[in-house]
Chains A and B, each alone.
Chain A
């Protein structure tokens, strides 16, 4: 089920175990506390290590279930145990033989929701992981070597790597950074403060510049006491740093270390690093640089092997009324005849089931209401008037400037039909504006509603209170800055996520708060409605993304696996997947159905703040503080493009309605348009890269850049294409 280095007998046993737990960490970020056992050298997993080397996912799955059951039982959640057991179809006694004792997992892990007293911002879930022990984690560093020799070892390795053939040097150089960090931490842990400082001083300059931020954190850490409760450190320790190295290079390194009896380094490599060995040509420096940069190295290849149904769902068949009203009236009696060919011509496109699409009912989706159908019809009508964009036909751009936003604009969203705009502000308010002449009105009070003639045709109009009509409404309720905001597709609801740890659902009929979803106990950075409504996703400082349904006050799924804050969340157009960007500089794609992480994308060199799916669902674009936009092929799990040009954080990305143009908005006060068609065309046919995952990116940002558009000292924090492909941008004017 993975590529195991078949020669290193020395490595095997150890590595095997670690890899297993890792794999489960990544792919089983399931609903329940997936990994109480992650860090525990659990008997379960080690017992399985021998047996399931050849056995595939099935038994592993069972292992996981058993572990979960064990966890639940230990916490006396007998009911849950029963339910889970029944659902999984496990025999009653299945727990007994295997689930012996997971004593290694510190006793504290139980009470999932309790905060760590150290105040480090882990979620209840990750708390479950971490709690077992900072001590256990750190104790891994307790091995005593001669502190003076660390420098010798490191520079010895450095000399060796610098002397190897060019083709191997780039690959082996990847070892430097994780090695450096771990050696430094070992020194610090063992109270060799001055040696640690000297070590840092001497070698920190050699590291790749994109690790600068992490190094800064590291350098501020000089005492053993500091290590406790430092997130970055824990991240580094709890997740193995993943390197991809070709077999030849790996052999070279191993031979060298064994020859030199350099156990210190060898131990670190074995304990803290995961080396993903592949057969074939070593990668070049640029290939490596393109993929590295994340907090925990690259993604393992098997992490991106799962099948993703990226196709679009079939559009529901809606009888499109004839454009010509008169014609319809004429053919009143001949209606059925008239309709049929119409339906066919319309449905012919959507009838063909996309082989890559998930089945229509893979996840339950809400049924369409009449009003939704009407809206779909409107959408289709508008779509016929859509402007076809292209390099020669760029969209017009309208800029929505927020004036007098002294309180700080932190989030913006448009409705899909561009009739409403909402802003989240740092003063905890949410404001909604109507951008059409139609004013915003509340529904009348209950007493007044009783007086209305409910049979009348215009009842929907009558329920609105004309006295409340205004251009904008303010929604108060949060107790911290509002960082994320999202309209529901039917325009009846608005979601907002805030620093106060809640997500709130607002009604746009009454302009009141309907629900406060509590679950994230830390700031919630982003939230978004599913394109089909009903579901929404949120992600925050607790490193977990959660899937909710509007009528459940508890999350349906929790997507855990990110090593740092989840900074942005986006739904796939078919609602079956969720993409999350994080400050661990990775992007993960999660399956809504089972909560699995199906893709991990690495390559960004800074926290990711913007994500966008292409309208056909095949591609993902991501923007980060490093000012680059990266393009990903979801089906193959590959990076397919890099768009350089922005000079500051990218806060918004959006594909045009037909996916020909990608618009990016940034803190550097510009909107840039990119030729998405060309960017995706160039790479789609390359089979070799698909097989190996080694990408060659040509530097063609300049060719793909179609235009750069300045604002008047206004950071662009949101972009939106109207149904006719007019580009709307929004931001607060800050002189």
Chain B
């Protein structure tokens, strides 16, 4: 009986009563103490009962000391002095024995009185209103990011959706990584796909926020990589979102400090990835993409960043796309670009810098076009195979060598089929301009007329071919591995600098940071730079003399495309050899802006400058001196397998 009561109520033991009596100097008998204890318990219970009433009327869930004091007050018991706090009081147990007490620290009043950091009063009580539910159909999330249709989902899914979107769009990068990983591997989210696609289509509303755009693109990537998801016709919506990031003159681009270039690069990568892995889901998708890219490219009203996007987009879609769209357009486009580049007015500085970007991008694209075409030709002749295999081979090689591309997780054959079929489809009913394949030499000549030696340098690929084939096999066997030895082999590097550069094209370099939240191109930039440095230092022994000399010689003879350069006046040695490396690097970096940067790379202090910011400040593009070209030309002629 007593046990039951003890469980149910707080009890004050006889001993406690005795102790308390003793402390006030009263001696109590056992009987009296027992009776008192019992009565005190009863009174306590009673007071607790009535104090709960005060809690209820104060519309609280927590019973406070104040409530209890009020109950005591109304049953004519003197209020107990002491705490009246709303917070719970710390309740401690003493180490020795089962003794519990409320911690009652001494307060140093002097310290308090002399304190300089006088606590501010709490903020003022106020009323704020918000429309929580419109027409009774509110969003469960007050921020309003959830489309109302989501409500029809099961609770679990809904929660998952909310958590994921919150994590991805939220502040915590770690959380975002986890969310993206889960999105990439979760097998049960098919029902949510439309909603995710909906969220992603929000890119159009956040075009001012690069970070959000980036996150949304990562979300696309995760969805695309999720092997359990059948994207179906949603691929179209995803592609349009990605294309938006590639092509649109985003609001964020207005500020030159915003690195929207990287975003475009990444989006282009993603586009090619979607296309490789899911291109077969929607017929004519490849074709549509080409058309829209072409449209942008041929529209002179569009800002340069859009053109840049179109170029990198084409580049990402493969050399065939470049050959079909960019190459035929180049003569027309070149005039525009050159006009921009030739304008040295201060007001044009920014546009000009953008122009250089485009220039670089085109350069990279056509360079690979040349290479791949050459490669396909050589393979064709080697194997004597049909055009179909040529295509297939070409695309494989493309996959291997394409710097920006992360290989899709699907078997390669599928991807190959994908592109091949689309190319055929595109070829069958082609609304694109008449396209007749241009033979490689003619193409090269034409391109050379535009780009001069900066093009030539990267086409020094005699040994490169063998390395490609080696690479190809290794990558086919294991697409996820880093490329084999040569990259890191110092011996090779030292002996054959160009070859080193070519090997750096390894797709893994760029594809490796696939789970990395920072855009791959950025990460790759770092590695590329460091490699450049090693190259330059190693190759400097070989070349510094000749190149610097040629640099001096060429001072007055710069091409009229890139007529002026500070470089000419600063007649220092290192920049000259840096061309070479710059040239090579262009190949490995697949980024047009690289050469402008590497001009200055050799001087150590510059390495500290963030490459991109630096690139923007640069008024001049790569100093392409004729002597170098000559040298490069000869070099080229030695190796070109024509």
| Residue interface mask B117-138, A partner, CB < 8 A = 1 | 0000011111111111111111
B130 and A394 within 8 A (CB):
no
A408 and B56 within 8 A (CB):
no
Within 8 A of B (CB), among A170-208: 194, 197-198, 201
Whether A404 is near chain B, meaning CB under 8 Å from some CB there, is: yes
In the bound complex, what is the Cα–Cα distance between A730 and B125 (angstroms)?
Answer: 14
A717 and B59 within 8 A (CB):
yes
Q: Looking at the complex, which one of A119, A396, A425, A565 makes contact with B75 (CB distance below 8 Å)?
A: A119
B128 and A401 within 8 A (CB):
yes
Whether B70 is near chain A, meaning CB under 8 Å from some CB there, is: yes
What is the distance, in angstroms, from B224's C-beta to the closest C-beta of chain A? 35
What is the distance, in angstroms, from A441's C-beta to the closest C-beta of chain B? 18
Whether B49 is near chain A, meaning CB under 8 Å from some CB there, is: yes
Q: CB-nearest residue of chain B relative to A197?
A: B1
Whether A489 is near chain B, meaning CB under 8 Å from some CB there, is: no
Whether A219 is near chain B, meaning CB under 8 Å from some CB there, is: yes
A226 and B53 within 8 A (CB):
no
What is the distance, in angstroms, from B124's C-beta to the closest C-beta of chain A? 6
**Given A399-B132, A402-B127, A712-B142, A426–B58 Cβ distance below 8 Å?**
yes
**Given A223-B38, A402-B125, A397–B138 Cβ distance below 8 Å?**
yes
B129 and A710 within 8 A (CB):
no
B70 and A499 within 8 A (CB):
yes
What is the distance, in angstroms, from A485's C-beta to the closest C-beta of chain B? 12
Chain B residues with CB below 8 A from A399, complex form: 129-130, 132
| Residue interface mask B53-92, A partner, CB < 8 A = 1 | 1101111110000100010001111000000001000000
B136 and A435 within 8 A (CB):
no
A406 and B122 within 8 A (CB):
yes
Chain A residues with CB below 8 A from B61, complex form: 667
Q: Looking at the complex, which one of B45, B50, B126, B129 makes contact with A398 (CB distance below 8 Å)?
A: B129
Chain A residues with CB below 8 A from B138, complex form: 397, 709
B42 and A226 within 8 A (CB):
yes
In the bound complex, what is the Cα–Cα distance between A436 and B86 (angstroms)?
Answer: 33
**Given A408-B86, A651-B59, A717-B59, A709–B42 Cβ distance below 8 Å?**
no
In the bound complex, what is the Cα–Cα distance between A709 and B151 (angstroms)?
Answer: 13
Whether B4 is near chain A, meaning CB under 8 Å from some CB there, is: yes
A421 and B127 within 8 A (CB):
yes
| Residue interface mask A403-417, B partner, CB < 8 A = 1 | 111111110000000
| Residue interface mask A634-668, B partner, CB < 8 A = 1 | 00000000000000010100000000000000010
What is the distance, in angstroms, from A302's C-beta to the closest C-beta of chain B? 32
Whether B95 is near chain A, meaning CB under 8 Å from some CB there, is: no
In the bound complex, what is the Cα–Cα distance between A423 and B59 (angstroms)?
Answer: 13
**Given A394-B136, A410-B58, A607-B56, A220–B45 Cβ distance below 8 Å?**
yes
B38 and A710 within 8 A (CB):
no
In the bound complex, what is the Cα–Cα distance between A220 and B54 (angstroms)?
Answer: 20
Whether A157 is near chain B, meaning CB under 8 Å from some CB there, is: no
What is the distance, in angstroms, from A230's C-beta to the closest C-beta of chain B? 7
B1 and A472 within 8 A (CB):
no
Count, chain A residues at interface, CB 8 A: 71
Q: Looking at the complex, which one of B8, B50, B59 makes contact with A409 (CB distance below 8 Å)?
A: B59
B133 and A396 within 8 A (CB):
yes
Within 8 A of B (CB), among A203-234: 216-217, 219-223, 225-226, 230
| Residue interface mask A354-394, B partner, CB < 8 A = 1 | 00000000000000000000000000000000000000011
Whether A431 is near chain B, meaning CB under 8 Å from some CB there, is: yes
In the bound complex, what is the Cα–Cα distance between A548 and B60 (angstroms)?
Answer: 29
In the bound complex, what is the Cα–Cα distance between A410 and B64 (angstroms)?
Answer: 14
Chain A residues with CB below 8 A from B49, complex form: 216-217, 220
Whether A525 is near chain B, meaning CB under 8 Å from some CB there, is: yes
B124 and A404 within 8 A (CB):
yes
What is the distance, in angstroms, from B141's C-beta to the closest C-beta of chain A? 10
**Given A401-B127, A404-B123, A421-B127, A396–B136 Cβ distance below 8 Å?**
yes
**Given A223-B38, A397-B136, A404–B126 Cβ distance below 8 Å?**
yes
Whether B19 is near chain A, meaning CB under 8 Å from some CB there, is: no
B58 and A397 within 8 A (CB):
no
Whether B46 is near chain A, meaning CB under 8 Å from some CB there, is: yes
Whether A63 is near chain B, meaning CB under 8 Å from some CB there, is: no
In the bound complex, what is the Cα–Cα distance between A194 and B127 (angstroms)?
Answer: 56
Within 8 A of A (CB), among B134-160: 134-138, 140, 142
Whether B39 is near chain A, meaning CB under 8 Å from some CB there, is: yes
A403 and B125 within 8 A (CB):
yes
Q: CB-nearest residue of chain B relative to A392?
A: B136
B76 and A119 within 8 A (CB):
yes
Whether A715 is near chain B, meaning CB under 8 Å from some CB there, is: yes
Chain A residues with CB below 8 A from B344, complex form: none
What is the distance, in angstroms, from B379's C-beta to the closest C-beta of chain A? 64
B132 and A410 within 8 A (CB):
no
Q: Looking at the complex, which one of B38, B134, B135 makes contact with A393 (CB distance below 8 Å)?
A: B135
Whether A506 is near chain B, meaning CB under 8 Å from some CB there, is: no
In the bound complex, what is the Cα–Cα distance between A121 and B76 (angstroms)?
Answer: 10
Total A-B residue contacts, Cβ distance less than 8 Å? 141
A433 and B1 within 8 A (CB):
no
In the bound complex, what is the Cα–Cα distance between A397 and B142 (angstroms)?
Answer: 12
A707 and B124 within 8 A (CB):
no
B74 and A220 within 8 A (CB):
no
Chain B residues with CB below 8 A from A667, complex form: 59, 61
What is the distance, in angstroms, from B121's C-beta to the closest C-beta of chain A? 10
| Residue interface mask B191-230, A partner, CB < 8 A = 1 | 0000000000000000000000000000000000000000
What is the distance, in angstroms, from B577's C-beta to the closest C-beta of chain A? 64
Whether A567 is near chain B, meaning CB under 8 Å from some CB there, is: yes
In the bound complex, what is the Cα–Cα distance between A433 and B126 (angstroms)?
Answer: 8
| Residue interface mask B276-297, A partner, CB < 8 A = 1 | 0000000000000000000000
Whether B9 is near chain A, meaning CB under 8 Å from some CB there, is: yes
Chain B residues with CB below 8 A from A673, complex form: 136
Within 8 A of B (CB), among A679-735: 706-707, 709-712, 715, 717, 729-730
Chain A residues with CB below 8 A from B77, complex form: 119
B57 and A410 within 8 A (CB):
yes
What is the distance, in angstroms, from B72's C-beta to the closest C-beta of chain A? 10
Chain B residues with CB below 8 A from A442, complex form: none
In the bound complex, what is the Cα–Cα distance between A407 and B60 (angstroms)?
Answer: 12
Chain B residues with CB below 8 A from A567, complex form: 57
Whether A488 is near chain B, meaning CB under 8 Å from some CB there, is: no
Whether A483 is near chain B, meaning CB under 8 Å from some CB there, is: yes
In the bound complex, what is the Cα–Cα distance between A217 and B322 (angstroms)?
Answer: 87
Chain B residues with CB below 8 A from A405, complex form: 125
B59 and A715 within 8 A (CB):
yes
Whether A297 is near chain B, meaning CB under 8 Å from some CB there, is: no
Chain B residues with CB below 8 A from A541, complex form: 53, 74
Whether A595 is near chain B, meaning CB under 8 Å from some CB there, is: no
In the bound complex, what is the Cα–Cα distance between A351 and B525 (angstroms)?
Answer: 86
**Given A223-B38, A522-B74, A717-B59, A398–B136 Cβ distance below 8 Å?**
no
In the bound complex, what is the Cα–Cα distance between A712 and B4 (angstroms)?
Answer: 40
B53 and A583 within 8 A (CB):
yes
A565 and B142 within 8 A (CB):
no
B126 and A403 within 8 A (CB):
yes
B135 and A396 within 8 A (CB):
yes
Q: CB-nearest residue of chain B relative to A387?
A: B135
Whether A478 is near chain B, meaning CB under 8 Å from some CB there, is: no
Chain A residues with CB below 8 A from B129, complex form: 398-401, 435
Pairs A–B under 8 Å by Cβ, sample size 13: A121-B50, A121-B75, A220-B9, A393-B135, A396-B131, A397-B133, A400-B128, A401-B128, A403-B125, A405-B125, A433-B126, A609-B56, A707-B136
9 nearest A-B pairs in the assembled complex, by CB-CB distance: A394-B136, A119-B76, A397-B133, A220-B45, A404-B123, A119-B75, A399-B132, A397-B132, A400-B129
Residues of A that sit less than 8 Å from B by CB: 119-121, 194, 197-198, 201, 216-217, 219-223, 225-226, 230, 393-410, 421, 423, 425-426, 431, 433, 435, 472, 480-481, 483, 499, 522-523, 525, 541, 565, 567, 583, 607, 609, 625, 649, 651, 667, 673, 706-707, 709-712, 715, 717, 729-730
Additional A-B contact list (9), CB under 8 Å, known A220-B9, A395-B136, A399-B132 = A119-B74, A119-B76, A120-B75, A223-B42, A397-B131, A403-B126, A499-B70, A525-B57, A709-B132
